[in-house]
Amino acid sequence: MKPGFFVREALRSIGRNAIPSFAAMASVLVTVLVLGVFIPVVQATTGAANEVRGRVLVDVYLQKDATQADIDRVRDRIQSVETAGKVEFVSKAQAYQREKARNPEAYQLLGKNPLPDTFRVTPKKPDDVLKLRDALAPAGVSGGRTPIDESIESVKSSKDESTKILTATRVVKLAMGALAILLVIASVLLISNTIRLSLFSRRREVEVMKLVGATDSFIRWPFVIEGVVLGALGGVLAVLLLAVGKIALVDPLAEDFALIAAPRTIQFGVLAVLLLGASVLVSAAGSGLSLRRFLRV
């Protein structure tokens, strides 16, 4: 049998069952539209969370009389720690200039530089910030901490602040991941049930075709193609609506609001291709799975 026959049958079936077909297309349209908005939002939120997590640091303060040899030795010891990532050295002069710029009146009264040389250490993984602090200043039996080098005065990690940041960003990621999974499951069920409703209205036709000897694949292909057509139509309409929204709303606002322009998200062309592919695949799979029960005559 030529493919054109199945395409014609699918298109004729869509025309004869306009209401169920429209419901299936509308389901795909709404699902793809929501996904098209949801994916960039998730990416922007995750990117912001990762940026915040990247600011978690461990500060290593050196003794006031530390020499250049001491600084080099401490740097080597810090870099040898497994959880240590980027190591930035801030001299006492640099620290003084930064703080003086922030509060010039207060630092003019001091007369001298009270700030120590400091190493600002970024952990390889934000979750390892407390492990990094413990490696640079292990806790003793009495509860105090002893730095790994005598030239280190103290090691601080802002434990409470770091814990809050890590907890907040972890909750955001888990919540967004859970919402994405629920949305995908709901979309598959909605499309499958809508197409099943369309198939149910033609159950007698399927039964007659089975009784006259039609094979399962012969019966299934027009329905699968119908699902593909409806999915493609719904996906195209959703992408067009997203494009209109992007041009009419997002792009003009991005010129005036840095918060909208800042997040790095998927390019619209790539997003459109992914959404069209997903709408077609999910619709075809939903129609194929929904048809299985009606082929058991």
Fold of the CATH domain 57-156? Alpha-Beta Plaits (3.30.70)
pLDDT at 1 over 60: no
Pick from 235, 229, 237: nearest CA to 287: 229
Contact status, residue 59 vs residue 118, Cβ threshold 8 Å: yes
Run of H or E residues at 155: strand 152-156
In order, the DSSP letters of 182-202 are: HHHHHHHHHHHHHHHHHHHTT
Pick from 283, 276, 280: nearest CA to 192: 283
Its pTM stands at 0.58
How confident is the model at residue 73, as a pLDDT? 92
How confident is the model at residue 108, as a pLDDT? 62
Q: What is the mean pLDDT of the chain?
A: 75
Give residue-wise pLDDT tens across range 146-169. 888 888 988 887 655 656 666 776
Q: Which residue has the higher pLDDT, 279 or 112?
A: 279
Q: What is the dihedral of CA 15, 216, 28, 45, to 10 degrees?
A: -170
Domain boundaries in the chain?
A: 3-52+166-295, 57-156
How confident is the model at residue 31, as a pLDDT? 78
